[in-house]
Structure formats: C-alpha cells, structure tokens
Amino acid sequence: MPFRKLRASGLIKISGSSTLEAKLYLPSQEGNFAGVLLSHGFASAIEEFMDFPEDLCQAGYGVLAFNYSGHGKSEGARAYVSSKSHLEDILSAYQYLVNLPQIQVEQTFLVGHSLGTVAVLRLLATRAGKNVLGVQFRWRRRS
C-alpha cells in the first residue's frame, strides 16, 4: 500500500503555547484511517523514529510525528521540558491528529519512546485519553 507524506512547507503548525514541528503521513488511497501519534524522548526529535512512520502508513495508518517544544525545529528553549509544556504539547498534537477528517477518532494509538512515554501516560489520564484504543512503548537497542 503506497503512502504519501504530507508536509505544509516542511512544518505543520500545531497551535499551543509554542509552534510545534510535525510530519504527517497518510495512505495514498482515500478513506478514514486509524491514527497513530508518535511521542519522542528527551533531547531527541522525530527523526529517532527513522522509517517507523512510513512503515505504519504503508500498513494503513495515518501517522503524526511531532517535536516537543525546544526539540527539532519546534519553538522553545532548546531541550527544555517542563511537566506543563510536555502535557500541553502532546495534547495539542493529539487534538491536531484527531481533528483531521481522515482520522477515525475512536481508533487512535499512542507510541511513546523514553520520556515520550511519560507524556503518553499523562495524556491517557486526561479526558482526551478516553478515545485511545492502544498504547505502545517503544525501545530500541543501540549498538
């Protein structure tokens, strides 16, 4: 199943306390898709997921990978994370994903890596977490 990678001028602007850099991956066929939100670790960026977003997209998921405030090209103090900004960022990214007309709100999944896992757990404790169908905590061995 081929995919198309959609990017608005290289940056999808996700509103919140700061502008977040994100990449959206949607399957090329028309329709509605289960959504996956990728949450990276501390002092990292969406590139840590390597081909994972494309693989998920080829499997038929709509995928949003985003950079937290102060990470990648997102606004904010470099590599600074507060508990408030961390939760605000993931909630803003999740709302962006589920507001897309191609995404089935009741079929959303969260993937967290390292400190991104903490944000995933915090999102699950909010009202927004009631629509999350599944969670995956990702770990990869470094050589």
> What strand order describes the sheet that includes 3-6?
3-6, 22-27, 62-66, 33-39, 103-113, 132-138
CA distance 123 to 86: 10
Q: Please tell me what DSSP assigns to residue 66.
A: E
Site of tokens 């959504």: 35
Instruction: Please report the pLDDT score of residue 124 as a whole number.
Output: 93
What is the per-residue burial (b if ≥16 Cβ within 10 Å, else e) of 110-125?
bbbbbbbbbbbeebee
Instruction: Please report the pLDDT score of residue 69 as a whole number.
Output: 84
CA distance 97 to 34: 10
Q: What is the mean pLDDT of each run of 10 residues along the chain (143 residues)?
A: 45 75 87 92 84 88 90 80 86 94 93 89 92 76 50
- Please report the sign of the dihedral spanned by the C-alpha atoms of residue 43, residue 91, residue 49, residue 142: positive
Those residues whose C-beta lies under 8 Å from the C-beta of residue 143, and which sit 6 or more positions away, are none
Instruction: Please report the pLDDT score of residue 8 as a whole number.
Output: 33
Site of tokens 């904010």: 76
